[in-house]
Copies of this chain bind each other. A is one copy, B any other.
């Protein structure tokens, strides 16, 4: 079993991956898009990528990657939720900081901390939090926002803990692969629906198909189609499995009403 994930060693993706399967071989990629692409190209058996954080919301690149790489063979087959505790890591002393490095999502989660304590310090974006730690190990003037584990991995000191905006901070990861797992009775189905802009009220009709069948929606999120301002795709998570008769019926009705329906997968809900 080979799993693709965001590298280098020490990312939160690695932590999520080990929670999912602690014996698989790991193959590290530079960004989320490359992980999804590797799964679609069968370079790896599965790929694990972050989709949503409790402070900053959805990861845009993941939503775009799902639209592009999910197919009949590549689906979402699982989800994992892990707590995220960001630390400020350094090689030098806190008084030497000239630049703070991290992944944009982590920087957004910690923006209040940075603004309060470092004002308009230089900020450098990296492709992952672990990559920030790796770079920081080369200079005493850099500080990384990353996991405690990456301090050990790259020989850095933990200068401050829990630098995210709120103590409680969780990220949900999804597992890409195939085939669709069997129903467990506690499943979730993810879909993308495109509603034409010139059909107001269409979203209400679509939601009605689920409400009338008592299907609970756990998430609804809009994402630009990138074609025109105000033109959206809706990413919807619902309770139930694609093999459930009522889910199938609702999706058949949605398909008739929406311009496009893409089923991303059915998988057991994370506890």
Contacts and interface: CB of A to CB of B under 8 A. Distances in A.
Interface in A24-43: 30-31
Contact of A226 (B52, B55, B200, B229): B55
B165 A226 contact: yes
B221 A222 contact: yes
A55 to B, nearest CB: 5
Interface stretch (A13-21, A119-127, A153-161): A119-127
A230 B204 CA distance: 21
State how many copies of this chain the complex holds: 2
Chain A interface residue number, banded: 35 or more
Q: Which of A120, A207, A210 has the most CB of B within 10 A?
A: A207
Interface string A143-160: 000000000000000000
Interface stretch (A166-174, A179-187, A240-248): A166-174
Q: Which 7 A-B pairs have the closest CB atoms?
A: A200-B216, A123-B125, A54-B229, A204-B211, A204-B207, A170-B229, A124-B124
Interface of A: 30-31, 52-57, 60-61, 81, 104, 107-108, 111, 115, 120, 122-127, 165-166, 168, 170, 172, 200-201, 203-204, 207-208, 210-211, 216-224, 226-232
